[in-house]
Amino acid sequence: MDQRELKEFLDEKVMLYNNPSFIESDPIQIPHLFSKKEDIEISGFLTAIISWGNRKMIIRNAFKMMELLDNAPYDFIMNHQERDLKHIKNFVHRTFNSIDFQQFIRSLNNIYLHHNNLEKVLSVKKGETSYKDAIHRLKNLFFEIPHLQRTKKHISDPLKNSAAKRINMFLRWMVRNDQTGVDFGIWKTHNAANLSCPLDVHSGNVARKLALLSRKQNDWKAVTELDTNLRKLDHNDPVKYDFALFGLGVFEKF
């Protein structure tokens, strides 16, 4: 396919998957439970952080996380006492356990108390064209309070060449605003043109088959290469093609 044909093909796949029916089988259904901005972004962030492995298990455990936060994540984050964290002791999702969850609650409290909110912390600064440095800044602020070393692995760092798939997915949810009802677009100070594709095994394999990606490893260098090629197809909203790459890989076994 030439570039025009590739764009037409992928645009059709975006239309096929980027609609409300996508929500019911995707972890994005968790933040869709809420209407308050802070609840949406906190539930979305926590859901994205555990989004690896079996999708049904991700969704089930994300629901459990919300129950442990009394289905009021922002209120719990801001007003909990240390004794309230004791009932979280049995939570586990793969290598993310109750110790990690408790740390995330404390760190999110610190973010909202002392750094405005997640929208502010993850802002792209003047002269930056991606979220590479913003994600690095988030990690530094997230762990500026006392923490166990084991928990740091649950936030990836693009400056260490991680693809940061889960944070990029969360950013897509918060920033993209195309009125289809899937992504939220509630971060009005952000620009969808700066987003990067959440690169995983499925999207990476499809991207390579479509000659959008030549690098074999799914790392930040690959994310940058894919960014460059997707922005040629749509400079203002390159990450809409995540729907196409993911749908082709997961649902169509492309």
pLDDT at 89: 87
Cα dihedral value 245, 249, 250, 253, nearest 10: 150
pLDDT beneath 70, residues of the chain: none
Indicate the burial class of 51 (C-beta count within 10 angstroms; 0-12, 13-18, 19 or more). buried
Paired tokens of 187: 């971060």
pLDDT at 1: 84
Closest to 118 measured CA to CA, from 168, 49, 45: 45
Q: What are the distances in angstroms from CA 72 to CA 13, 41, 192, 234?
A: 35, 12, 28, 37
